[in-house]
A and B are shown apart, each in its own frame.
Chain A
Amino acid sequence: MRRPLSVLGWTAIGVLGATGFGVLALRRGESINAAWLLVAGVSSYLVAYRFYARFLALKVFAIDARRATPAERLNNGRDFVPTSKWVLYGHHFAAIAGAGPLIGPTLAAQFGYLPGTLWLIAGVVLGGAVQDFTILVASMRRDGKSLGQMAKEEVNSVAGTAAMVAILAIMIILLAVLALVVVNALKASPWGLFTIAATIPIALLMGWWMKALRPGRVLEASAIGVTLLLCALVAGRWVSQDPTWSGWFTWTGPNLAWAIIIYGFAASVLPVWLLLSPRDYLSTFLKVGTVLFLAVAILVLLPPLRMPALTRFTDGTGPVFAGKVFPFAFITIACGAISGFHALVASGTTPKMLMRETHAPLIGYGGMLMESFVGLMAMIAAATLEPGVYLAMNVPASTLGPTAETAARKIAEWGFTLQPGTMEALARQMGEATLLSRTGGAPSLAVGMATILGGVVSGPGLALWYHFAIMFEALFILTTVDAGTRVGRFMLQELAGYVWKPMGRTSWYPSIVVSSALVVAGWGYFLYQGVVDPLGGINSLWPLFGIANQLLAAVALCVGTTILVKMGRARHAWVTVVPLVWLTAATLTAGWQKVFAADPRLGFLAHARSLAGSAGPDAARMVFNDRLDAGLALVFMAVVLVVIAASAREWWLVLSHRRAAEVHESPFVETAYAD
């Protein structure tokens, strides 16, 4: 009796999902409800988890319920801790979720909601979740080894070194572009800046509380921190209305960039208990709480989507960022569909906490499905905006012109309507001086979120919800900036240690200061250039970040494929090879176009040529930056080609029996948890 019922249930979910996709694909010229997007997404996730994840676990990787995990064998009560599966699911999700799945879909909404939605769903099911699961299983079978170590052991040392260089370079670009998003969101916004500035003294207080006053009382300190932060959010309105205070907290882009650079340096050299760990806890609570609340609010409200399914910008003329829907939709939405960065988390803390091997599909595959769901929510939030408003917020002033009237004229040329008064009214509603050309994605996402959250809980008013959303985004982006700077510093110290031994001593103060300064200077340079770039910076930096992140995913999939081949499961290797081929094709195409395209809006070199002979004061600097960006894109592409070649060589050697198929798994130990 159970089996027919199960077949019936899964058929129903399948039909429901197909209906969702049908509605998304066929409705044209009338607005559709966000519910259809959710139906298509959630049904696909359920079917993929029930069938594909199970296939990966049982048939491809042969997950063994009797095999003890590192958490069980090496349990030390600290980092190796067997953790119940739903708790670990929450923990893993909190570690992988960040600004990427929120900002990427918001920017990709310039193509309409359809391309991004399809890629979020198909990409996660066949690519992103497979990558996270593969790396999690591989690391779990190797006592929690990192991606770099596995690349070195399972592929070869060339691939290992290439992976490490790639990770460091990607980190630099990632931090620069995320910091740029924050600068653009807080620029000339005293309310937003006051709230974010308040997080620093709040974090110091929490740090002191947890270290000295009540050692280890993290929950207590976090409760105090969140309360104070909400007070600062409410007080921000008063700050923005008071002429003296609002003057103090109205900063220009370059000044904000310097402040973030100094903050990143301080967080990297100060003891972690003082600033870094309290901010991490604060941001985790806020992140998980807000994501859950947003999901509930969208389900309650089911808003209609105002954005069309496809816009005319799929042809590559998009004003938010240049490039056609292929390949640029696939690198703009990085984290919600597939993200190389997750391979670092899936080979970091999570594999050391798995209690049973059988929990890996839920954590690795299921955790990534939830991340994709966050991406869908961001897409919904962006698509609930009127297209004219969306464009007015996300297109740089160099295209839109300085006033609401010039912007309205430009937007009318693209075939969308915007009443000049609309933007002023919206800015007043959200408590901002202006919302024109607030590029970077964060402000338009915040307007979308404020409309949705304010539609469910209207008491606080839209302005408060808007600044709550800005605070939510900026807080966890800055947490990524400080943690990432520190990670980069350790990688640099390790690399420098090969050249000169003392630099490798991670607790030697001169080495700490020098390497921190170098990492901060690296991302700080790109951040500053992005801030002063008349084209807005996002147009050049976000694609670079997307390319870098997707190429890291390609490295992870190479490692996964090599492991499958060496496990003697080459006939199942398509599970990682298919996403690898697609990702490599999309990303190398995007990289090639960013460097060599003849259109100066798209190609770095063409843009540099278009400036040649220009007498503008910034011309020389912009030409240099274009060439630098082009060089960086070429380096990313070269590194990934090296890793692919090194891996392919290993596959060929093993498959032609020239080399023994040996994996470096830890030996089998029987679990004591078996049921």
Chain B
Amino acid sequence: MLTDRGTGVPGHRRTFAALRKWVAQALAVVRQVVGAPDYVRYVEHHERCHPGAAPLGPREYYAEFVSRRFGSGTSRCC
């Protein structure tokens, strides 16, 4: 089996991991375009800016996100 020099990880695994990363990035872009919540991004932001405090759970985060984005109506154009 082909292995990457030095790492011992099989080549197809590495390709698979790269593909997964690429798909995750593409989905994150789609989320931003349609204005969908991104829990992973929120947790990263929280850990960077408020270290020590516990972030909201996924359920609470979503509830807060939805009421913030849609609560007072969205500006949708004609």
Contacts and interface: CB of A to CB of B under 8 A. Distances in A.
B69 A480 contact: no
Given A77-B41, A216-B39, A91 B32 contact: yes
A479 B69 contact: no
B75 A349 contact: yes
Contact of B58 (A216, A219, A348): A216
Contact of B65 (A216, A222, A483): A216
Contact of A280 (B29, B63, B70): B70
Most buried by A among B36, B39, B42: B36
A190 interface: no
Contacts of A211: 62-63, 66
A412 interface: no
B59 A215 contact: yes
B32 A272 contact: no
Interface stretch (A43-51, A96-104, A639-647): A96-104
B42 A77 contact: yes
Contact of A91 (B35, B39, B45, B63): B35
Given A77-B46, A210-B62, A219-B36, A98 B72 contact: no
Interface in B27-41: 27, 29-37, 39, 41
A277 B76 contact: no
A219 B77 contact: no
Given A216-B39, A273-B63, A284 B75 contact: no
B70 A506 contact: no
Contacts of B42: 77-78
Contact of B35 (A84, A96, A284, A549): A284
A216 B61 contact: yes
By size class, the interface of chain A is 35 or more
B24 to A, nearest CB: 11
B70 A272 contact: yes
Nearest to B78: A100
Interface stretch (A333-341, A383-391, A557-565, A601-609): A333-341
B74 interface: yes
Given A77-B41, A216-B39, A216-B65, A288 B33 contact: yes
B77 A342 contact: yes
B77 A335 contact: yes
A483 B37 contact: no
Given A215-B58, A219-B36, A75 B77 contact: no
A216 B62 contact: yes
Contacts of A79: 68-69
B67 interface: yes
B28 to A, nearest CB: 9
Contact of B33 (A90, A178, A216, A345): A90
Interface string A48-83: 000000000000000000000000000101110001
Given A272-B66, A273-B63, A281-B36, A218 B75 contact: no
B77 A285 contact: no
Contacts of A506: 72
A611 interface: no
B67 to A, nearest CB: 7
Interface stretch (A460-468, A486-494, A630-638, A655-663): A486-494
B71 interface: yes
Contacts of B73: 483-490
Interface string A98-121: 111000000000000000000000
Most buried by A among B42, B68, B75, B77: B77
Contact of A78 (B29, B33, B65, B72): B65
B34 A284 contact: yes
Contacts of B46: 77
A100 B34 CA distance: 20
Contact of A272 (B31, B71, B78): B71
Nearest to B59: A215
Contacts of A521: none
A87 B32 contact: yes
B34 A277 contact: no
Nearest to B50: A77
Contact of A479 (B27, B36, B76): B76
B56 to A, nearest CB: 10
Interface string A412-433: 0000000000000000000000
Nearest to B38: A216
Contacts of A369: none
A484 B37 CA distance: 22
B78 A480 contact: yes
Nearest to B43: A77
A276 interface: yes
Contact of B77 (A210, A280, A339): A339
- Kindly list the 5 A-B residue pairs having the minimum CB-CB distance in the complex, ordered from nearest: A487-B73, A486-B73, A77-B45, A218-B36, A100-B78
Interface of B: 27, 29-37, 39, 41-42, 45-46, 49, 58-59, 61-78
7 contacts: A84-B32, A94-B35, A178-B78, A216-B62, A273-B63, A341-B78, A489-B73
